[in-house]
Structure 1
Amino acid sequence: MLETLKVKDFALIDDIEVEFYNGLTALTGETGSGKSILLESLSLIFGKRADQDLIRYQKDKAMIKAKFRLTKYQQEKLSLPELIEIFREVDSKGKHQIKLNNEPITLAKLKEISKVIGLIHAQTDTFNIMDKGLYLDFLDQMDYATIDPLVNDYIFLKESYTNALKEYKGIKLKKEESVERIDFLTYQVKELEQLSLKVNEKEEVDEALSKLSNFDKIKQALQTSYEKLENDRFSLDAIYDSYQALHKVASFDKKYEDLSESLLSQYYVLDEVKNEIYKQLDSLDFDENEFNELQERSYELAKIETKYQKSINELIVYLEEIKDELSLITDYDNYVKKALEKVETNYNKALNKAIELSKKRKLLATILEKNILLELKDLDLEKSVFKIEFEPLEEKPELLENGIDKIEFMISLNEGEPVKILSKVASGGEKARFMFALKSIYAKTHQLSLLVLDEIDIGISGKTASKVASKMKELSKDIQTLVITHLPQVAAKADYHYLIAKEKVIDRMVSKINKLDSEQRVHAIALMLSDDRVTKEAIALAKSLLEK
């Protein structure tokens, strides 16, 4: 249950803190007094997205804080202590804070917690009865613990089907676009395959061609280098003799040892270099045929690179790509067959999950039908007949956003009348009572401890208003019920009555909320029964309502 609600700098609210109690609480006040603003602040505690425009004028931030006492069921389900405090702060720069017992939490976590604690019915919710697209949501919410996992599985499978269908259509489209390319691609494949391209071939050919083009220069350089190493003025034997001379005295000084070792190392290096130069010189040969072939190959490679505006390595990759594309075109039927099989497989998986979901919904629908009728009997609609009709499925059902089901709420509100579409035959007051029944069932089914109703009794009057008030009173024995109402019958049935009014404080209007005592309640209810002024008759009637 909600124990306290503190609101600061939120719309017309300056700074209020209200204590709430078990049972039925009525919140009354003139239109525009701030009743809905109080509800809006509580909605933020229940996970609604914050609107910075609701921060009080000339203030930097708004704050809402609520304390709840959880039932044992809620404590176990949420793994939370009995007493919790939820804090939300919204500032003008768009920064938001959400805390649970002074520890930061996410908006998703807040919604998860509030879903187990209570439910808020806003005025606009009653109009949802007019929207057939929301009926499945009403049904699914009655057992979201069972339905939500099935819906999530279905959505995943439907996404796989959608992707497979997209791929299939893409292959068909590509075929249509590519048929004209067969001759062109065939020509390109033939041209590139005839060249027998190799990775890095252009660089290797150009390097070999460069060597042959500079044959004389290379030969002269090798010859000169070798002769210099064989020259008497530079003798390898002299280096070795020098090494031996120093080696003999190496034991007398570490420097002599280092020098001798360095000489020996250089001797071996130079000897190896000289031998390698000799080998290169000996193997050097100018092959005119090879030179001509390399020139021709280099020209071919350069020409094909220019033609395709790609390097040889890129052309090798491109060749494989166009061969695959050509294969796709020429083997189109096989590709289409495989893609279509994938579409059908994924469709059937999603469909099977949707059928499983639909069976659960139909079982849930029968339970909801019975529960709705039980509730309506206590709301002056005892002759009602209510049915949830599932539209017949086509041979191959369309995979919708959340399954294959389309439902309609059908109702008969008068004895002997056939069931008709609820949104078309129900009056405003009847729709309000139907929504109250729906919310009551939801709250009891999910063992909520708080139900907040904003003018759910709109369009109701007379003895029906008394029955609705009695139903709210009965409901509040198990679930703390807060009702924003304009009905004196409901206000009179309440265990607690709060009056919300606007006052002018330092040239600004401020919403105030006060818990009324017995005498104040009589006056407030009498005012609800009067037009402009409280009459003796209204006071007498107010007292009579409070005594019932």
Structure 2
Amino acid sequence: MLLSLSVQNYALIEQLNINFANQFATITGETGAGKSILLGALGLIMGNRSDLSSLKDKEKKCVVEASFEVSKYNLKWLFEANDLDYENTTIIRREILPSGKSRAFINDTPVNLSELQILAENLIDIHSQHQTRELEQQNYQISILDAIGSNSENLKEFLILLSDFKQKSKELEQAIADKNTLFTAQEYNSYLLNELIQVGLQPNEQADLEEELLSLNNSELISETLSKLVSSANEEQFGFINALKECKNAFHKIAPFSTSYSELYERLNSSLIELEDITDSSFNLVEKNVYNPERLEFISGRLQTIYDLQKKHQVSSIEDLIEIRNQLDEKVLLVDNLEEKINKLNAYLSAKTADLNATAKKITENRSKAIPIFIDKISSILFQLGMPDSQFKMELIPSNQFLSNGKDELELLFSANKGTSLGSFKKVASGGEMSRIMLAIKSVLADFSQLPTILFDEIDTGVSGEIAFKMGEIMSKMSANRQVFAITHLPQIASKGDAQYKVSKETIAENTISKIVKLNSEERIVEIAEMLSGKQITDSALTHAKTLLN
């Protein structure tokens, strides 16, 4: 419930601090005294947008702060879900700076407006005379049945399922779109991939083939060169191997005489070993270097295939072709993967559809059970409010698609009088009738909800006399389980409050300010008498006021 409200530098309010109790409180005052300002301040607490026009003094910041007792309303989950510190006495604060920037806090933790709105809608319901149009909105009508039918948990489950269903449906749409996009190029990509796979490209293959081709094309020259080296090395009389061996043997004799000679000996020995190895390698290469026209033809063809592929794909190396082959493989595989993903998503959505339908069925069943309860209760209340012949017709119409709150559409028809056709509220109900209907609905919902605080803003529009008295009684009865406020112009309703607050404004030194004060017993008599007879209070008005209060 709302414990206190503090307002600084807002509209006509310089400074306001007021406490409230868990009771039925009425708020009265002349037209233009500032009751709408009080609502505006509460609207900021509810998360409404702000602007600089709200500042009374444009050089100072505006601060609106409200404290709520929330221990009885099972809201810890909401605080945890929004990463907020939970306190049994929760404080909401809004600040509007002279720069125009607005800030919001819950228990001194900065929050954005959406987070503030989520919490505030669980703390207070502000119903103004202009909000009777809610009755014409199907979602609001269905929410009445959901409250009576205890559909809260079913709706939570349905929303979780629906959110997941919508997300997976989007993934399916995207997968299908991607598949269709890729499928147009799939055949050509598969052809290119198969062509590269059949060629069987290997890393460094091109360089090796080009080297082998060069050797085959120069086979005769290579053989001549290698043979000449082998022959020169091993010629019996003048071969350089034999000559080097003789030198080595000669240096072997003088090596012990000096380190310089021994070093030369070692170098000759190393050179001899290297030349012998070169000669052996050359001899082996001569043996291997056999002209092979079939191999030459194969290599030439193989290289031409590689060159053609490089030209086709506009690359210059076999490594680039291998990379293209890998990319094509991924593209072709992607289509296969998308097909598999689509099949899995279809299966998943089919299962979720079954879950959604099962939950929606439970929601519909509870709503169907709630319809006669609602009609019976609201008809009884409207009878008290002077509408004994009112009729309601509510019919659930199955929808073929999942809506945000199930699979039901609702047809709600109303008639206020006998002999008149059933129709929408807008067509068949007057302003006063709409006010009474809305109060009756709020009264019914009060028995099925845990909402801590409700504020009626001039819901008595269009009614007077005995009906207003009954409306006050109904609001007083509602306050047995919750805090109720009523902003009213009618003394019959004002007198029913456990407490009464008066909003007024006064001009001091050309400065107009609004204030709100709690009236004591004597002040209430005077205020209600003034509501009955105007500024010139008569004795009969005072007597009537005392009667109403008693």
How does the TM-score come out when normalised to structure 2?
Answer: 0.72
Pick closer, same or farther for the CA change 1:322–1:113 going to 2, 3 Å.
Answer: closer
Residues 213-240 of structure 1 deviation map (CA, whole Å, 9 limit, x = unaligned): 5999xx99xx99xx9xx998xx9xx9xx
Residues 220-268 of structure 1 deviation map (CA, whole Å, 9 limit, x = unaligned): 9xx99xx9xx998xx9xx9xxx9xx99xxxxxxxxxxxxxxxxxxxxx9
What's the counterpart of residue 15 of structure 1?
15
Pick closer, same or farther for the CA change 1:343–1:18 going to 2, 3 Å.
Answer: closer
TM-superposed CA distance for 1:432, in Å, is 1.2
TM-superposed CA distance for 1:371, in Å, is 2.9
Alignment of 1:182-221 (within 5 A): 185=187, 189-190=190-191, 193-196=194-197, 201=202, 204-206=205-207, 208-209=209-210, 213=214
What's the counterpart of residue 492 of structure 2?
489
What's the counterpart of residue 38 of structure 1?
38
| Distance in 1 (alpha carbons) for counterparts of 2:125 and 2:389 | 28
Determine if the alignment matches structure 1 residue 378 to structure 2 residue 384.
yes
- Structure 2 runs not aligned, ≥5 long: 80-85, 234-240, 260-269
What's the counterpart of residue 312 of structure 1?
321
What's the counterpart of residue 468 of structure 2?
465
Amino acid at match of 1:468: M
| Distance in 2 (alpha carbons) for counterparts of 1:336 and 1:22 | 57
Determine if the alignment matches structure 1 residue 524 to structure 2 residue 531.
no
Alignment of 1:300-339 (within 5 A): 300-306=308-314, 311-317=320-326, 319-320=328-329
What's the counterpart of residue 541 of structure 2?
539
| Distance in 1 (alpha carbons) for counterparts of 2:115 and 2:152 | 16
| Distance in 2 (alpha carbons) for counterparts of 1:363 and 1:277 | 106
TM-superposed CA distance for 1:468, in Å, is 0.8
Pick closer, same or farther for the CA change 1:345–1:97 going to 2, 3 Å.
Answer: closer
| Distance in 2 (alpha carbons) for counterparts of 1:494 and 1:421 | 33
**Pick aligned residue for 1:150 from 133, 157, 161:** 157
1:414 is paired with a residue whose SS is: coil
What's the counterpart of residue 434 of structure 1?
437
1:301 is paired with a residue whose SS is: helix
What's the counterpart of residue 260 of structure 1?
none
Determine if the alignment matches structure 1 residue 292 to structure 2 residue 300.
yes
| Distance in 2 (alpha carbons) for counterparts of 1:337 and 1:172 | 12
1:32 is paired with a residue whose SS is: coil
How does the TM-score come out when normalised to structure 1?
Answer: 0.72
2:495 is paired with a residue whose SS is: helix
Determine if the alignment matches structure 1 residue 138 to structure 2 residue 144.
yes
What's the counterpart of residue 265 of structure 1?
none
Amino acid at match of 1:414: N
2:365 is paired with a residue whose SS is: helix
What's the counterpart of residue 101 of structure 2?
94
**Pick aligned residue for 1:503 from 506, 527, 531:** 506
TM-superposed CA distance for 1:290, in Å, is 6.0
TM-superposed CA distance for 1:4, in Å, is 1.8
What's the counterpart of residue 514 of structure 1?
517
Alignment of 1:410-429 (within 5 A): 410-415=413-418, 419-429=422-432
Amino acid at match of 1:159: K
Q: Which moved more, 1:10-19 or 1:346-355?
A: 346-355
Q: Aligned pairs, how many? A: 495
TM-superposed CA distance for 1:127, in Å, is 1.9
Residues 35-75 of structure 1 deviation map (CA, whole Å, 9 limit, x = unaligned): 12212322443x42442446415145322222334565669
TM-superposed CA distance for 1:155, in Å, is 1.6
Pick closer, same or farther for the CA change 1:289–1:463 going to 2, 3 Å.
Answer: same
On the 8 A contact 1:140/1:147 being kept in 2, the answer is: no
- Structure 1 runs not aligned, ≥5 long: 247-267
| Distance in 2 (alpha carbons) for counterparts of 1:379 and 1:323 | 73
What's the counterpart of residue 358 of structure 1?
364
TM-superposed CA distance for 1:6, in Å, is 0.6
| Distance in 2 (alpha carbons) for counterparts of 1:523 and 1:281 | 132
Pick closer, same or farther for the CA change 1:316–1:214 going to 2, 3 Å.
Answer: same
| Distance in 1 (alpha carbons) for counterparts of 2:354 and 2:278 | 73
Residues 329-356 of structure 1 deviation map (CA, whole Å, 9 limit, x = unaligned): xxx9x99999877776654443333223
| Distance in 1 (alpha carbons) for counterparts of 2:520 and 2:407 | 55
Amino acid at match of 2:548: L
On the 8 A contact 2:90/2:106 being kept in 1, the answer is: no
Q: Which moved more, 1:381-390 or 1:480-489?
A: 381-390
Residues 342-380 of structure 1 deviation map (CA, whole Å, 9 limit, x = unaligned): 776654443333223222222233333333234323323
Amino acid at match of 2:63: M
Pick closer, same or farther for the CA change 1:155–1:509 going to 2, 3 Å.
Answer: farther
On the 8 A contact 2:489/2:531 being kept in 1, the answer is: yes
Q: Which moved more, 1:522-531 or 1:30-39?
A: 522-531
On the 8 A contact 1:44/1:88 being kept in 2, the answer is: yes
On the 8 A contact 1:372/1:441 being kept in 2, the answer is: yes
Pick closer, same or farther for the CA change 1:36–1:301 going to 2, 3 Å.
Answer: same
Q: Which moved more, 1:456-465 or 1:162-171?
A: 162-171
1:405 is paired with a residue whose SS is: strand
Q: CA RMSD in A?
A: 5.0
| Distance in 2 (alpha carbons) for counterparts of 1:314 and 1:371 | 76
1:489 is paired with a residue whose SS is: helix
2:513 is paired with a residue whose SS is: strand
Pick closer, same or farther for the CA change 1:51–1:147 going to 2, 3 Å.
Answer: farther
Amino acid at match of 2:479: S
Pick closer, same or farther for the CA change 1:7–1:427 going to 2, 3 Å.
Answer: same
Residues 292-335 of structure 1 deviation map (CA, whole Å, 9 limit, x = unaligned): 3454134212222139999423532464467679999xxx9x99
| Distance in 2 (alpha carbons) for counterparts of 1:107 and 1:281 | 90
TM-superposed CA distance for 1:104, in Å, is 5.7
Pick closer, same or farther for the CA change 1:545–1:148 going to 2, 3 Å.
Answer: farther
Pick closer, same or farther for the CA change 1:324–1:29 going to 2, 3 Å.
Answer: same
| Distance in 2 (alpha carbons) for counterparts of 1:114 and 1:64 | 14
